[in-house]
């Protein structure tokens, strides 16, 4: 028969069975989710930065064009997105510090889950007053 997979019932192929029993590298939990969130938040920040550069460039078309476009920042949905932007920067910054702690002190990786939840606690603690201040203004501006 030469090389190749043996014939017959797939479940009896020892090598194939062993391969299917390997665990996925995507394990979920704190490590994977914080890694994904670090990237997702930075994409949001970069999109906002791009919009900011474009609307600032509109100054070249005169005050009328600029004022008309930046008026969109008074819209409540945009203001809620700005709150999200603050949250994204806050998460990225705090999680970045957590990553740097592990980079400088590799033994901190032994406590990575605890470090992650500590970071989340700091994040929540920082975002609570910010959400209160920004949220109140958004509600007042929207509903009078
Ligand atoms: C404010 C404080 C910030 C801290 C402490 C911080 C920290 C970090 C760290 C430690 C990483 C590496 C992540 C890793 O090795 O897995 C990283 C990645 C990155 N950061 Fe920041 N960062 C900050 C702000 C920003 C800002 C404002 C931007 C952009 C506007 C930015 C853009 C990026 C990008 C594009 C990456 C690469 C993401 C990737 O590898 O997929 N960061 N940051």
User: Is 56 a domain residue?
Assistant: yes
Span 73-119, pLDDT tens digits? 999 999 999 999 999 999 999 999 999 999 999 999 999 999 999 99
* CA–CA distance, 20 with 15 (Å, rounded to integer): 9
Q: Is the dihedral of CA 60, 63, 69, 74 positive or negative?
A: positive
Q: What percent of the chain has pLDDT over 70?
A: 84
Domain count, the chain: 1
Task: Give the model's pLDDT for residue 115.
Answer: 96
Span 8-24, pLDDT tens digits? 665 555 555 555 556 67
Q: What is the mean pLDDT of the chain?
A: 89
Looking up residue 130, the CATH number of its domain turns out to be: 1.20.1300.10
| 118: containing domain | 31-143
Tokens of 54: 């474009």
49 lines ligand 1 (CB under 6 A): yes
User: What are residue 25's phi and psi, to 5 degrees?
Assistant: -70, -15
Q: Would you say 95 and 38 are in contact if contact means Cβ atoms under 8 Å apart? A: yes
Residue nearest to atom 28 of ligand 1 (CA): 42
């Amino acid at each position: 028969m030469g090389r190749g997979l043996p014939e017959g019932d797939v479940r009896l192929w020892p090598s194939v069975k062993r391969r299917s029993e390997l665990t996925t590298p995507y394990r979920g939990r704190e490590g994977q989710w914080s890694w994904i969130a670090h990237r997702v938040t930075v994409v949001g920040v970069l999109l906002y930065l791009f919009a900011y550069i474009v609307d600032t460039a509109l100054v070249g078309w005169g005050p009328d064009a600029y004022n008309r476009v930046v008026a969109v920042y008074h819209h409540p949905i945009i203001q809620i997105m700005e709150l999200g932007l603050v949250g994204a920067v806050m998460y990225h910054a705090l999680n970045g510090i957590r990553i740097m702690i592990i980079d400088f002190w590799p033994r901190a990786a032994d406590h990575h889950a605890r470090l992650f939840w500590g970071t989340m606690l700091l994040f929540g603690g920082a975002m609570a007053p910010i959400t209160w201040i920004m949220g109140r203004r958004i509600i007042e501006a929207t509903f009078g």
